[in-house]
A and B are shown apart, each in its own frame.
Chain A
């Protein structure tokens, strides 16, 4: 069974940093591109970043470019999102997705002083 489990969310002050992790199981992680998507409270979906299977192609939304960094460790079946210089508007549930057919349950990030 394919599973994606996010962790690392929580409360952080504006300007702070947080690192999200996504643990993958039930499939060959190194065969798939991965994405991070977020959803602010009561709002729609926003794609953030994509990394291909071998980390050779990475793309970012303008809203997070230069502040967020996606990475993966295929040996550990894990995806990461390093988030720096966080802003109030980054408050959201963050989802990791396998290409687009499987999604994690989400990790809540709250940016507030």
Chain B
């Protein structure tokens, strides 16, 4: 099973700041890495798939990068609605796995 480790667990930032979230895989996942956003009481929302492709309707301030085992989600300038929990997910190998999440808080 591929283990995904997200860091930091919590990121405290102000609106307008840049957020950098990390996801490290225990083995290569090639480019099969996705990112989700989840707000309290809501289902997760797909943000990024295949490392760097934004899902439909996702603002350009969200970007993904990386390859192999190290990946990054960057929010270029935090908007109030971006404060949420973010999860990475690998779809390279079964079983599919999620990281433990990074909470972005004010």
Are A44 and B98 neighbours in the complex by a CB distance under 8 Å?
yes
**Does B83 sit at the interface, judged by CB under 8 A?**
no
A-contact 0/1 string along B31-63, CB 8 Å cutoff: 000101010000111100100000110000000
Are A50 and B96 neighbours in the complex by a CB distance under 8 Å?
yes
Are B56 and A101 neighbours in the complex by a CB distance under 8 Å?
yes
CB distance from B62 to the nearest CB of A (A): 15
Q: In the assembled complex, which residues on chain A have CB atoms less than 8 Å from the CB atom of B101?
A: 44-45
Assembled-state Cα–Cα distance A104/B44 (Å): 9
Are B43 and A106 neighbours in the complex by a CB distance under 8 Å?
yes
Count of chain A residues with a beta carbon within 8 Å of a chain B beta carbon? 18
B-contact 0/1 string along A57-72, CB 8 Å cutoff: 0011110000000000
Question: Is the contact region of chain A dominated by helix, strand, or loop, or is it mixed?
Answer: strand
**Does B68 sit at the interface, judged by CB under 8 A?**
no
Q: In the assembled complex, which residues on chain A have CB atoms less than 8 Å from the CB atom of B55?
A: 101
Q: Which of A35, A100, A101 has the most chain B CB atoms inside 10 A of its CB?
A: A100
CB distance from B73 to the nearest CB of A (A): 15
Are A45 and B98 neighbours in the complex by a CB distance under 8 Å?
yes
CB distance from A9 to the nearest CB of B (A): 14
Are A100 and B98 neighbours in the complex by a CB distance under 8 Å?
no
Assembled-state Cα–Cα distance A5/B1 (Å): 30
Residue pairs across A and B with Cβ atoms less than 8 A apart, 27 shown, are: A35-B96, A37-B44, A44-B87, A44-B98, A44-B99, A45-B36, A45-B44, A45-B87, A45-B89, A45-B98, A45-B101, A46-B98, A47-B89, A47-B95, A47-B97, A59-B94, A59-B96, A60-B95, A61-B95, A62-B1, A62-B95, A95-B43, A95-B44, A100-B89, A101-B55, A101-B56, A103-B44
- B residues near A, CB below 8 A? 1, 34, 36, 38, 43-46, 49, 55-56, 87, 89, 91, 94-101
Not counting A47-B95, A47-B96, a sample of 11 additional A-B residue pairs whose C-beta atoms are within 8 angstroms of each other reads A44-B99, A45-B98, A47-B97, A60-B95, A95-B44, A100-B34, A101-B55, A103-B45, A104-B43, A105-B43, A106-B43
